Every structure is written in C-alpha cells, then in structure tokens.
Amino acid sequence: MTKAGPDRRAPRGRPRGRPVAPAALAEVRRALGDLALAEQALRPDLLLEHLHALQHAHGALREGHLVALASLLRLAPVEVFEVASFYAHFHILPDDAPAPLPVLRVCEGLPCRMAGSAALQAELAAQPGRRVVAAPCMGACHQAPAVARGHALVAPASPASLAAPAAPPLPLPPHDYALLHQAPDTAALLAALEASGLRGMGGAGFPMARKWRAVLAQPGPRHMVVNADEGEPGTFKDRWCLETAPHRVLEGMLLAARAIQAEACWIYLRDEYDALHDLLARAIAAAPAGGMPIHLRRGAGAYICGEETALLESLEGKRGWPRHKPPFPGEHGLFGRPTLIQNVETLWWLPEVLPDPAAFAARGRQGGRGERLFSLSGRVRHPGVKRAPAGITARELVAEFGGGMLPGHEFRAYLPGGASGGILPASMADLPLDFGTLERFGCFVGSGAVVVLSNADDLAEAARNLVRFFRDESCGQCTPCRVGTAKAAALLEAPRWDRPLLQELAAAMADGSICGLGQAAMNPVRSLLRFMPELLP
C-alpha cells in the first residue's frame, strides 16, 4: 500500500515526545524544595501544589518545566499540561519567552462593577510595567472595587491603595475548643444536629443530620473535606468566618470528622484567599487534632471547583470537572472513599449550635429555623457579613442590618442568592429568605449572597454581567453549558432580546447540564423576563 506521506513514527528505540532537559529537571527539583526531597510527596494528587511552587519560583510555568515535572510524577506530559491549562491562575509560557510582567487582577463581579471597577481597570491598564486583567469575584464585594496584586487582595482598590505596602499577616484569634475537649460521641452529635435543624450553608441547604448519617452508613475508611472555595459573585461569608474565627471552623471540622469517624481532613481553599492560607496553616499547627491528619490544599482560579465533585477531582490533582451522580460523594468521594463535604459556614456554626440545638432552632423568623450569615453588598449604607434569622426578608435585612439604602438610591431589585439565585424586584422584597421559600418563583437563597440594586443600575447589564461570568467559568465538559452560556451571552448583547429563544435556551441548559453551573446560569435572565420585562430591551 502506498503511503500518503512520510512515516512520522519515531525510530525504534527512541521515545516519542519531548525529552526532559537535565537543567529543567534540576530547576523543578529546586522549586519543589522539600516536596522533591520526600519521594512520598511526589504524588499526582499534589499536582496543583507542585504547579503553584513552580510558578512562584519562576513567575510562570515554562513548558520544559512541565515536561520535567511530568517525569517526576510519572505522568504523561499531556496530563500535566491539561491540568495546568485548565486553571486560570496558572500562566504557561514557552521556555524562551521573556519573564512575564507583574499582574493585577481587577474584579469584574457585579458588586465591583457597580462600584466602578471598569473605570479603575482602564486607568490601571494605561500605566506601563504590568499586566492588567479582568477577574471573577474575589470575595470582597462589601469592599468593592477589589483588585488582586499578585496574590494580595486590595479592597477597596484605587491607584493609591495599590501603591501601598502589603498588609501584615492576619492575626490568629484564640479559641478553647471547649466542645471538642468534651469528646461527645457520634450518637450525641447526631442527636444534637437533628434537633437543631441545621442545614448546609453552601447553597443546597441539605439537612446535616441526614448527610452525616448517609456517610456513616458507608464502610470506612472515610474522609472529611472542607469546601472553602466560595466563588459565587456576591458571596464572602466564608472568607469572614476564616478571617475572624479560623479555630472555630477547625473545631467544627474536627467535630464532624469525629462524628463520621474520618481518617483524615482536607481543606480546599480558593487561591484568591492567599492571606487565609498562611492563617489556616498556623491555625492547623496549633489545633488539638488528636492525631487526625489535616491537609490544606488550594485551588487555582476555577469557580467550578466550588461544586463538590469538581472539588474532589481538583483535590486528586485533576481538572475540576464535575462527576456524574450517582454515586454521590457520601458513597464514592475522595480517592473513591465515602466523603463528607461541608461548607465553611456550616462548620462555623457547629461549636455554637450543638451545645444548645433547641435555642438555635428557635431563632428564625416567618417559620425559618435558626440563623445564618448573609453576604450583603450593593447599594446599601453598611455592606458586610450579617448574622440574621433565617426567614428574614430582604427589606428587613437592608433596613435592620444594612443601614438602609445609600443616599440618592431607591431600592429597585435584589439578588437573593448570588449570581445563580435569580433577580427579584423590590416589590417582592418581603419574601422570607430561607431554603424552600423562593423556588416557586424560580429563585433561591443559596449561599445567602444578597446584592441590592437601585434605580441607578441597568438590570439588563446586570444580567449580561452574570451570564458572562458563567460563560467564562464553565468548565467546558458538557455541551449544554459550554455552548449555552456562550450563546446566551451573545444573545444578550443584541439591541432587542429574542425572548422566546432565550427562554428555550434556558430550558435546554437547565435540563441538559451536568451540574448546577449550567442548570442555574440563566436564572437571572429568566427572573427578569418573568418579573421585570418592561425594564429590558
């Protein structure tokens, strides 16, 4: 048979692919430091940590270094490249490319855009000597606009504040671990949790007692995972919990680990919270873990890793692609073991809730049980994290906890649950903010991120901002989300919206997407079309 072209196969005996340069291998070993010296630390599940170390040492990820790293981890180079290129915070360059300029990431989340981050980005981009890039929510919505200078968060940001020295390390507040030292057994913990009615505060609101029992019913060994990768625009409560009371969160984690008889704890922290990495490392070193291994890991700029199964994939050193369910993490989670995954705020509540569960359950309003933390931002006088009763209304939250609207602004609309929770008009601000109360309107309270908009805000542009966020953060695994978010963002740029087509697209994305990102990405558009069509193009 005649060949169509030259035989491109490598000669027999010669390995295919790019060879490992000895100099690159030596530089990788130096960058990894102690990790490279400890053979047991050179594991594929630590791939993100290795990539962070490499980028920190060289300012970027050089292609030759990635090939060398792959050889050390006994992975194919393509496996390392596909992970490094998946995460937004890794910067891959050819070996001969010049060193990258220092980077400033300007938040383009909705609260920061409302606070003028677009103008700030343009002003900073006009100054030479650095790269200025748009970035998703940085968890500083109450201090908008926010900018990351390298890894250091500056909020509120301005040319003057960005020129100031870096902030000192966060202080480590004391904590006595009183409940943990009482050594309550599993039965007592589960009974108290059941009586409290505490639900998961990451967004889904699943009853905690039922979740713990489901994990405990599976054969060990089991894992305990803390989801500290909050990235929903408008959400910053987990950052507050960790900044103000890291030991309280760790005590909640250790109590949960004891309840399910876990063999190890894992904390997955979003990369944007760099100051918290140091704080948590110090807190873990001082915690009375009783021999329980506590592993601190960080992401690399991927909102999708807030989804629990994508988080597990990332912890295992892979791309953050959500898994198909079932099986659920409680059955087949981290490294294939039964895994309890809890949000930071949920764990923050445990040391207070478990000693007196009835008192906690009685604190709600309008039928709500307990309290929760709300991330309040937008056009209010006093934005921030607000501890308030479950079932409080948005109008009450603004008046009682936010100090009312900013001068000159009238309450027009609000996001009850962050970017994916939809947008409701101010005429519906007397609905209770609790799990199960907003779903009939196509909205939900989710993680409790309440963003308040006024008569000064363009609601159509707010929807465009939110849909662009989902387009940029789609992991690309499933077509309904990958193509749907891009199509939606393009349709929303039209001078007049094709409303039937937008509704049809939203239904297809909700029905066909693998995870909540694609399923909920069109909620802001759907709610505006339903409740405020007269304000749209």
CATH architecture entry for 179-353: 3-Layer(aba) Sandwich (3.40)
Q: What is the mean pLDDT of the chain?
A: 94
Contact predicate 319/313, CB 8 Å: yes
Amino acid identity of 115?
A: A
pLDDT at position 37 = 63
- Angle, helices 22-32 vs 47-58, to 10°: value is 100
pLDDT at position 9 = 41
- CATH, range 459-535: 1.20.1440.230
- Angle, helices 77-86 vs 63-73, to 10°: value is 120
Confidence of residue 366 (pLDDT cuts 50, 70, 90): confident
Q: What is the pLDDT of residues 167-209, one digit of tens each?
A: 899 999 999 999 999 989 999 999 999 999 999 998 888 999 9
pLDDT at position 274 = 93
Contact predicate 429/395, CB 8 Å: yes
What average pLDDT does range 421-447 have in this prediction? Answer: 96
Q: What is the pLDDT of residues 149-169, one digit of tens each?
A: 988 999 999 999 999 998 899
Cα(141)–Cα(143) distance, integer angstroms: 5
Q: What is the pLDDT of residues 478-532, one digit of tens each?
A: 999 999 999 999 999 999 999 999 999 999 999 999 999 999 999 999 999 999 9
Cα(224)–Cα(537) distance, integer angstroms: 48
φ and ψ at 367, to 5 degrees? 90, -5
- Structure-token pair, residue 216: 């405990």
Q: Which CATH number fits domain 363-450: 3.10.20.600, 3.40.190.80, 1.10.3260.10, 3.40.50.720?
A: 3.10.20.600
Confidence of residue 6 (pLDDT cuts 50, 70, 90): very low
Q: For the chain, report the end-to-end CA distance as a whole number of angstroms.
A: 63
Confidence of residue 38 (pLDDT cuts 50, 70, 90): low
- Structure-token pair, residue 155: 């909020």
Q: What is the pLDDT of residues 241-286, one digit of tens each?
A: 999 999 999 999 999 999 999 999 999 999 999 999 999 999 999 9
The pLDDT of residue 147 is above 90 = yes
pLDDT at position 421 = 96
What average pLDDT does range 19-31 have in this prediction? Answer: 94
Range with lowest mean pLDDT among 11-15, 57-61, 448-452: 11-15
Pairing, β 131-135 against β 147-149 = unpaired
- Domain extent listing, the chain: 24-93, 103-159, 179-353, 363-450, 459-535
The pLDDT of residue 12 is above 80 = no
The pLDDT of residue 5 is above 70 = no
The pLDDT of residue 3 is above 80 = no
pLDDT at position 204 = 84
Beta bridge partners of 225: 266, 341
The pLDDT of residue 1 is above 60 = no
pLDDT at position 10 = 42
Cα(117)–Cα(146) distance, integer angstroms: 8
The pLDDT of residue 16 is above 70 = no
Closest CA to 275 of 376, 155, 102: 155
What percentage of the chain exceeds 90 in pLDDT?
91
- CATH, range 24-93: 1.10.10.1590
Range with lowest mean pLDDT among 81-85, 325-329, 366-370, 418-422: 366-370
The pLDDT of residue 13 is above 60 = no
Pairing, β 131-135 against β 339-343 = unpaired
**What radius of gyration, in Å, describes the C-alpha atoms of the chain?**
24
Confidence of residue 369 (pLDDT cuts 50, 70, 90): confident
Pairing, β 411-415 against β 424-425 = antiparallel
Cα torsion angle, 111, 115, 121, 127, sign: negative
Maximum alpha-carbon separation in the chain: 83
Cα(413)–Cα(532) distance, integer angstroms: 9
Q: Which CATH number fits domain 103-159: 3.40.50.620, 3.30.413.10, 3.40.30.10, 3.90.1150.10?
A: 3.40.30.10
